[in-house]
Chains A and B, each alone.
Chain A
């Protein structure tokens, strides 16, 4: 029988579900807080305290930009809230630069404490919630700028592979010209545009299946 080490089946390792028990393995305290120090994102109510082995966020350099909260309800094909999802985000800083040496414009001198990456385990009620900053616009392959957006991954029990999507912002400059948003059929674009809720809080629900299903991407 062939196995992982057999050259004849060498290729991409297949995806498998994250399962229902990832809470003591992936979402560390503060993983949903890209701005300050808190315990946002973790679900420490789901396992004993002596089994908390993950990192704990520590103070970092102040971040530059407009602090926002993004949140939403995750529901399944029956409209039932999903309390065991893991949501991840990846976004640019306020200047539109990604926090990685893989962004050719990144430099130590222009980088503040903003990580650009976060996780959030959904709550018992099925909500995700991040504290972050409004991302700046990043270059588009067509030579212009993309509209402000946040890349999103969704993992969960019953999900054999990661679902990728984006969050845009209602009224965002450049939404009309954005090449990714425009790749989504017009009638489904609203599913990935967050609406302003209260103050600096933006809401985008994630519907895994069914009516008003979120537009998921083959990236």
Chain B
């Protein structure tokens, strides 16, 4: 039978499940090492087709979902979804959710007293084009306090969920903003070792910025790449 080409494992930028500074990991991170399992058809396939039937089509403008414009700084976020070998990931869905400009989520469990915005929900979705490109419009999310430690504040962030080409490539992450002093002291961002933490920090871009409309930020998402082909495996063995 045809040899399966699997996906590369995590690289040096992956956070551990358990991270001392992020309190909630203490009861929720596995205590035993993960078990390395063989790659099968299950891991190299995934729900790559028929997005619209499941999640629905694109919702690329989070500022036009209600009667009026939301409060806050309107921004345009664009970039590409790639694999770690630089190959674009076309037709992949990226789901988006975030707090409003004041740092408040519409969620019932968010009890901070910053105001809700009747014109903002904070949920969106884009699907990459043939070159792996995406673009959406939203408002810059505010920072908010949380209970991790005394005077803890999350940096402004946008939550992102990507399916990628397979079960193995599934990714949930957060995008941060340049110029945000809270990144340095955030236990969640800093569970990722430097310099890799900076992979999650977007870049302000004047070319993406639109005159009289909104500020532009660039953010590429890089998914796990394919393992070497069987030919390359053999080549490796010959030389080591």
Q: Which residues of A are interface residues toward B (Cβ below 8 A)?
A: 1-6, 8-26, 28, 31, 45-48, 50-51, 53-55, 58, 60, 76-78, 80, 82, 84, 88, 90, 92, 98-104, 115-117, 138-141, 143, 146, 149, 151, 153, 155-164, 166, 179-180, 183-185, 208-210, 213-219
- How many A-B residue pairs lie within 8 Å, measured between CB atoms? 298
Contact residues of B between 11 and 31, Cβ < 8 Å to A? 11-17, 19, 22-31
Asked if residues B55 and A28 are in contact (CB atoms below 8 Å), the reply is: yes
Interface string of B27-59 (1 = CB under 8 A from A): 111111011111111111111111001111001
Asked if residues B109 and A151 are in contact (CB atoms below 8 Å), the reply is: no
B168 within 8 A of A: yes
Asked if residues A140 and B65 are in contact (CB atoms below 8 Å), the reply is: no
Asked if residues A16 and B49 are in contact (CB atoms below 8 Å), the reply is: no
Asked if residues A146 and B42 are in contact (CB atoms below 8 Å), the reply is: yes
Closest beta carbon of chain A to B199's beta carbon, Å: 6
A-B contacts besides A10-B199, A12-B11, A16-B188, 11 pairs, CB < 8 Å: A12-B14, A13-B222, A15-B173, A17-B172, A24-B106, A25-B123, A45-B108, A54-B55, A102-B166, A141-B38, A158-B26
Chain B positions within 8 Å of A155 at CB level = 172
Distance in angstroms between the alpha carbons of A84 and B28 in the assembled complex? 12
Asked if residues B17 and A4 are in contact (CB atoms below 8 Å), the reply is: no
Interface of B is mostly: loop
Asked if residues A11 and B222 are in contact (CB atoms below 8 Å), the reply is: yes
Asked if residues B198 and A4 are in contact (CB atoms below 8 Å), the reply is: yes
Q: Within the complex, which residue of B22, B46, B106 is in contact with A51, where a contact is CB–CB below 8 Å? A: B106
B159 within 8 A of A: yes
Distance in angstroms between the alpha carbons of A184 and B32 in the assembled complex? 12
